[in-house]
Structure formats: C-alpha cells, structure tokens
Amino acid sequence: MPSVWTRTSDELHKEYIANTEAFYRAAGRSFAGELDAFLRAAALSLWKNSGAVTQNEVGAYNALYSSGREPPSTLLWELTGKVCSSEAPLPPMFFWSLAEKDAAAGRDCSRVFVRMVTNILLSLAAADGEISAAEAGCIADIQARLEAVCESSGVKKSKRPLDPSAYVTTAEPSFTDRIPPGRQAGQEAPQPGTEGGAAKAHGPKPRPLEELMAELDALIGLNSVKEEVKSLVNLVKIRSLRREAGLPAPDISLHMVFTGNPGTGKTTVARLLGELYAAIGALKSGQLIEVDRSGLVAGYVGQTAIKTSGVIESALGGVLFIDEAYSLASGGENDFGREAIETLLKGMEDHRDELVVIVAGYDGPMEKFIASNPGLESRFNKYIHFPDYTPDELKGIFLLHCKKHGYVLSEEADAALTLELTELYENRDENFGNGRTVRNLFENAVSRQADRLCSLDAPTKDELMALLPEDLKEDNT
C-alpha cells in the first residue's frame, strides 16, 4: 500500500521550508547551510536502503534547501553514484552546540530538530511511493544518534519523535542488497556481524612489513600519526624479541583511541595498523572490521549482546574499529548502547591476545566517552590525534585523485585550486571534511568538466584530461 508520506517534489519543498523556518525561528538560522548539508547526507544514506533511485529521488533531493539558499541541481546519474558511496551521517557539530545551549537554558530546540528530521526523512523515504523496513531502520538509527546527543548533553525531555517502523509499507530489499558489492563466484559468505552492511570486513592479503611501512610513509601529511604508529610497532617488535630471549616482557595494551575530524585518515591508518601487527606476529590475520553504533546495538532487550558478540567474533585475529564510538554511551541509563559497551569490555578481556579495539570520533565527545566507564579508562590509555590537513596536503590529495583517474590541472586551474583549498582551510569549522571535502571537490570538478565538454563535437584526449578553472568553481549550495 502506498505510503501516506508520499509527496511531489514541490510539496516536499514546501514541507521542508515550513519545518525548517519554524525551527529557525526558535533556534536561529546561522547554521542553515550545515542543516541542509546534513539532511542531504541523510537522504543519500536513506536511499541506499530503498528499492531504487529514480527521478523521484532526484526531485526530492533537489528540493532540500532552506529559504534564501540556492537549490541543488543534481542529475540522476550523479545522485545514484552519491547514494552508492554514501555513509551514515554524523550528528552535525552545530547540533552538539545547540544541545548544550538547550541544556543550559532549559529549552528543547534540539529535540524539536530530531522530530523535524524524522518527519522529513519519512517523506524522503516515500519518494518512490513506499517506505521499506530498511529505510525505517536507517531513519531510526539517525534518530537514535541525534537523541543520544540530547541525552548526553542533558536536554530536558520532550515529545517523542515518530516511530519510523510504524510507517513501513514494504519489506522489499534495497537495490544495493540485491547484488551485494564484491560478492563474486567463489567468494566466501560474509563473516558473523556483517549482516546488512553494518559491519564491514576488510581482509587484505598478507604483505611484508617493508611494503606496509612504505605505504604508511606514502600517506599525505599525518607526520605525528606516522611517528606514533612506528613507535607502537617498534614497541611490539622488541617485546616479542624479549620474550623469545627469555626476558620479562611487560604487558602492554594495544587498544587505542583515534581522535580528530572526519576525513583525516583514521580508518586508513587502522587498516594499516592491523596489517602491521599481523606482519610482526602480534595478531594472527590483521583484518579490519569496521562498525558504528548500528553495527553493535539492536532494538530489543537481550539482542545487543548477541549482535556485539558476533562482531567481536568476526574481528578476532585483527582490529575492531568503532567509529563515532561516543554514541554508545550517550543514550541514558536504559539505552542498549551501554549493553554493547559491557559486552565489548568482556570480549576485550576474554580475547586480550587476539583482538585490538580502536575507538574513534571527535576529540571532545571521545574524551567524555572514555571517562564514562572505568573499564574504558583502564583499557584505552593510548590516544592518537589526527590533525586537519593543511592546504598543501589537501592539494596533494586532490592531485592524487587526478593522477588516479587521468586528469591534469591547467596552470590556471592549479592556481585556482590552491586559492580554493586555502580559503576552505582558513574558514573551516568542526564539520570540515578534510579528505572527504577534497574528494567531493574533485568529483564536482569532473562533473562540471563533463557538462562543459558535452558542447564539443569531438573533444581531444588532452581536452578530456584537462581540468580548467571553471571546473573548480564551487557551487553555492
């Protein structure tokens, strides 16, 4: 049965304006751009669970802009690519600030925001006329992340948002689940804890230590991180040699906290670290299992421990990487995230020689997370901070994308890129995406170049490779 939430793109835009303007009247509109960006990211993550991405989703996506701002102009092929590569959005930093201000002033604007987001996402899920169980689960996860921030900040209780599961109209699988990526003839089935993509297993073939260290050194920037990693590897190597020589080898914790803004290479370094530990014998296989709250926490009593235990089992011999880990401790006394933490701590104790756990997220929230439980404080005593990339490092990342995909910057475009990245860096805030921002900048430049070249009858190879200054011009969205 078609969903009662189905809207035309015009109706959706009117609903979006009505909701956001009501919210801005209460909370101010200084973060309108960040709010639009968050909801567009949420839409991409949502439609990854839909039956298809069609022109209906394109119209809905292009309707997501606040009053006074420029609308997006995304095409179907662009939107499909963005959906397939999307990740679950983090609660935006303005929302953390808003929740803290609410708690201090006794307001509930942040909880109003959660209700608004839920309503808008339900309408976006119904763009194809149906709301799938997977889409409802995605909305519930985004809702839980936002509510966890409210609970952590001490925002007063308010009216509960709608329950997305009450509006499900179909159980059809998403278009990405019908042909799971990477599953080819002869490949093994997913390991426990990887159902639905909540946990992602990266199982690299064993590589020699020299090759891994060279890859670490080749990473752009991250000089302080590289030194920390090398020191850890040296410590583990010497500890192993002392044991072989019959000397005392004090126990050391290999569990770590990675702090820093998005897009600073935390997952990449975690993957390398797992392989490095395997190369020197500290871990058996060194695979990386990457999860967030949704990969550990279930919706019913007793299920979270089972789900978390399954993820731990799949990570044995390697590294369990928990992104946005602070969301596990932000939901109050009755939140299932606390059950996940207790199960995780028990697993770390039971498998102390078989498992390395790395928890990651923004600096401040991660400090609060570790301090929230004595067991976390005792097991996570090694912190590695991932700084934002400098303008030169951001440019290096852009040029790597160019080299990989066969593009060349003109001299003028090179100068324009330097200026653009310098301005982005100097005006960055907590939501600055670092490497992700550069990747989006590159993809947008490629899209504009394609639009430009389509007016030519037969573009040459050099023209197909060249990125010009006009291709780098940033959209005002």
2 within domain boundaries: no
Q: What is the 3-state secondary structure (H, E, C) of the chain?
A: CCCCCCCCHHHHHHHHHHHHHHHHHHHCCCCHHHHHHHHHHHHHHHHCCCCCCCHHHHHHHCCCCCCCCCCCCCCHHHHHHHHHCCCCCCCCHHHHHHHHHHHHHCCCHHHHHHHHHHHHHHHHHHHHCCCEHHHHHHHHHHHHHHHHHHHHHCCCCCCCCCCHHHHCCECCCCHHHHCCCCCCCCCCCCCCCCHHHCCEEECCCCCCHHHHHHHHHHCCCCHHHHHHHHHHHHHHHHHHHHHHCCCCCCCCCCCEEEEECCCCCHHHHHHHHHHHHHHCCCCCCCCEEEECHHHHCCCCCCHHHHHHHHHHHHHCCCEEEEECHHHHHCCCCCCCHHHHHHHHHHHHHHCCCCCEEEEEECHHHHHHHHHCCHHHHHHCCCEEEECCCCHHHHHHHHHHHHHHHCCEECHHHHHHHHHHHHHHHHCCCCCCCCHHHHHHHHHHHHHHHHHHHCCCCCCCHHHHHEECHHHHCCCCC
328 within domain boundaries: yes
185 within domain boundaries: no
367 and 429 in a common domain: no
Establish how many alpha carbons lie within 13 A of residue 325's alpha carbon, considering only the half-sphere containing its beta carbon. Answer: 29
Range of the domain at 53: 9-174
Among 386, 419, 442, where does a domain finish? 386
Q: Which amino acid is at 70?
A: E
Q: In CATH, what number is assigned to the domain containing residue 247?
A: 3.40.50.300
Return the pLDDT at 421.
92
403 and 376 in a common domain: no
369 and 223 in a common domain: yes
Q: Give CA–CA dist 104/155, Å, rounded.
A: 8
116 and 45 in a common domain: yes
Among 366, 386, 406, where does a domain finish? 386
Q: Give CA–CA dist 422/273, Å, rounded.
A: 31
Residue among 89, 92, 93, 94 nearest 28 (CA): 94
Q: How many angstroms separate the Cα of 463 from the Cα of each of 417, 441, 457, 459, 470?
A: 18, 19, 12, 6, 14
Question: Using CB atoms within 10 A of its CB, is residue 274 exposed (0-12), middle (13-18) or buried (19+)?
Answer: buried
Q: Which amino acid is at 49?
A: N
81 and 142 in a common domain: yes
The number of folded domains in the chain is 3
How many residues make up the chain in this entry?
477
477 within domain boundaries: no
Torsion region of 475: left, alpha or beta (phi above 0 gives left; psi -120 to 50 gives alpha): beta
Q: Which two tokens stand for residue 188?
A: 């093994």
418 and 362 in a common domain: no
Per-residue pLDDT of the chain (477 residues; tens, 9 = 90+): 456 788 888 889 999 999 899 888 888 888 888 899 999 999 999 998 887 788 889 999 999 999 988 888 888 878 888 888 888 888 888 888 898 899 999 999 999 999 999 999 999 999 888 888 888 889 998 998 898 888 888 899 988 899 888 888 876 666 555 444 443 333 343 444 444 445 555 544 578 888 999 999 999 999 999 999 999 999 988 888 888 888 887 778 899 999 998 889 999 999 999 999 999 888 998 999 988 888 888 766 678 888 888 889 889 999 999 998 998 887 666 678 888 999 999 999 999 889 999 999 988 899 989 988 889 998 998 999 999 999 999 999 999 999 988 999 999 999 999 999 999 899 887 778 888 889 888 988 998 899 889 888 888 999 999 999 999 886 544
Return the pLDDT at 474.
66
183 within domain boundaries: no
89 within domain boundaries: yes
296 and 368 in a common domain: yes
356 and 262 in a common domain: yes
Q: Which amino acid is at 318?
A: G
Among 386, 405, 427, where does a domain finish? 386
Return the pLDDT at 176.
56
As a whole number of Å, the end-to-end CA separation of the chain is: 35
Establish how many alpha carbons lie within 13 A of residue 238's alpha carbon, considering only the half-sphere containing its beta carbon. Answer: 8
Strands 356-361 and 256-260: parallel
Q: In CATH, what number is assigned to the domain containing residue 431?
A: 1.10.8.60
What's the CA angle centered on 347, arms 345 and 353, to 5 degrees? 110
201 and 159 in a common domain: no
259 and 138 in a common domain: no
123 and 15 in a common domain: yes
1 within domain boundaries: no
Q: Which residues contact 17 (CB under 8 A, 6 or more apart)?
A: 66, 67
* Cβ neighbours of 126 (radius 10 Å): 24
Establish how many alpha carbons lie within 13 A of residue 10's alpha carbon, considering only the half-sphere containing its beta carbon. Answer: 0
213 and 134 in a common domain: no
368 within domain boundaries: yes
Return the pLDDT at 180.
44
